[in-house]
Chains A and B, each alone.
Chain A
Amino acid sequence: MKIKFIALLLALASTAGLAQEDSIPKIVSNPANDFCLSCHANRYYTYANQDSSQTIRHKMFKDLIIDTLEFYQNNHKSFACTDCHSSEYNTLPHKSDLKLEPMLSCLDCHGDSEFMPGLNFQTITDEYAKSVHATREKSHTNCWSCHNPHSYRITTRSQHNLSEIVAYDNSICLECHSGMGKFDLLYGDPKSTLIAKHAWLPNAINHFKSARCIECHTEIREDMLVAHNIRPKEEAVKTCAACHSADSRLKHTLYKYQLQQDREEQGVIKALVSNRMMAVGTNPSPFLNLVSLILFAMAIGGVIIHSLIRIFKK
């Protein structure tokens, strides 16, 4: 069991005054989906064949199983199944030609710039089109490859703490790149592991816990919160100072949203102790830097003046 580092925080605790929000998610189900989920939430489903009057039990194809817990926490949790799928699915058994039903793409709903303008879906689409996923793997990837519409939830624009955001977003990449799954099927490279490939990175595991893959593997744009232009591995960022510096990349990616929020909602002191930046060298407080430099200058100045008087009085 991990030893928690509470003692050091005791001194600052009394100044915090912020109670942590209840982290247990509230699940509200949509009764309109109960009919669909009575089969699609299970590994096996049964239905009565009206022609033969028999009860049929089948194994559900795994890609058609919906995890209800994830579904009712995802971005589209308020939707009814038939908002996106044909209402003819309300009939059993489903008509076979329904499989030919064209699936909605993200832009069918999100393409309209007046709808959720802050999310900038058109820019996301344009950036994705330039990414290595789109240019090298046209037939394999689309928005849904990473953002499962039945489970995906936004973490970056949320009050989640950084490690939750990092873990969730990295899990999306690991779905294929963990070296044991789809990536191997595509490239037949079972021996390659992420740890081995990132062996050059000091404390690789800590980096994986503290930063997302996209921090180093994308081209950043200031008008996007989450970069989608995934670059080839040869273009990955490999210099420490890119993140460990005052103008850290992380301030333009991972920390960007929370820095904006902190500036808007908190004062200087509170922003200092509640800042979520975890990279050394990001210099969260220019104010403290200035104070320390002034104090140092005063000390050096005092020493010079004192020694000069000593010399003149000698």
Chain B
Amino acid sequence: MSGKVYLYPIWIRLWHITNALLCLILIISGISMHYAGPESPSIRFDIAVSMHNISGVILTASYFFFILGNLFTGNGRNYLIEFTGFRKRMWKQMYYYSIGVFLKQKPPFPIGKERKFNPLQQVTYALVMYLFMPIIFVTGWALLFPDIIIEEWLGISGFAATDLLHLVSGFFISFFLVIHLYFATMGKTPTEHYKSMITGYHEDHSEPESH
């Protein structure tokens, strides 16, 4: 089976590039604020705060757009994990990434119209988009309006807990971005998947290979 498959409609591509750029701004400004200091080569604190706040607000709107898109276009089904045999499929994909790819084996779960994500992608994307993103939005908005944060509860500082959750979620999303950018180079050519996210078309090359 080979040929071009239209996999990424315009709304997904627009959302994806917006999401990517905003996340980059948020990560850069977030790290800059986190490591701010008179001697630090970071962005000026007030500028970093504005960058972070504005991007965060736009990203929230973009997230709602993504959720609505998933609800009304059926794209959301790609994030639904089929638990039967899931562990086996995960191992298959992990084996491919860690060994199979070097042995020139074909991907066990090739991208196609019916399956846009392999099992590892499914889990990581679902975690990022439906766990860490909501946490970072809720905590981010709370930090934007710190008056709504409960000051202390059972010996826990509300601000510290909110800040910690925001930082930890931000860390995992940044961590995901690094891995995501690298795995995106694992197409037939290193730029194939990048081009797909611009044109919307994916080159379908192969049948799955069993192990």
Contacts and interface: CB of A to CB of B under 8 A. Distances in A.
Interface of A: 2-9, 12-13, 16-20, 161-163, 202, 206, 209-210, 239-242, 244-247, 270, 272-278, 280-281, 283-284, 288, 292, 295-296, 299-300, 303, 306-307, 309-310, 313
Contact of B35 (A7, A9, A240, A246): A246
Main secondary structure of the interface of B (DSSP, over half): helix
Interface string B143-185: 1001111111111111111111101000100110011001001
A240 B161 contact: no
B149 A281 contact: no
A162 B158 CA distance: 12
A8 B139 contact: yes
18 contacts: A5-B150, A6-B150, A7-B138, A8-B139, A8-B161, A8-B162, A8-B165, A16-B153, A161-B151, A163-B151, A202-B46, A244-B36, A245-B37, A273-B161, A274-B156, A276-B157, A303-B182, A313-B103
Given A241-B45, A247-B37, A307-B182, A280 B163 contact: yes
B52 to A, nearest CB: 9
Interface in B35-61: 35-38, 40, 44-46, 49
B138 A280 contact: no
Interface in B119-161: 138-139, 142-143, 146-161
A245 B38 contact: yes
Contact of A3 (B44, B148, B151): B148
Contact of B158 (A5, A241, A246, A280): A5
Contact of A274 (B142, B157, B175): B157
A303 B179 contact: yes
B150 A299 contact: no
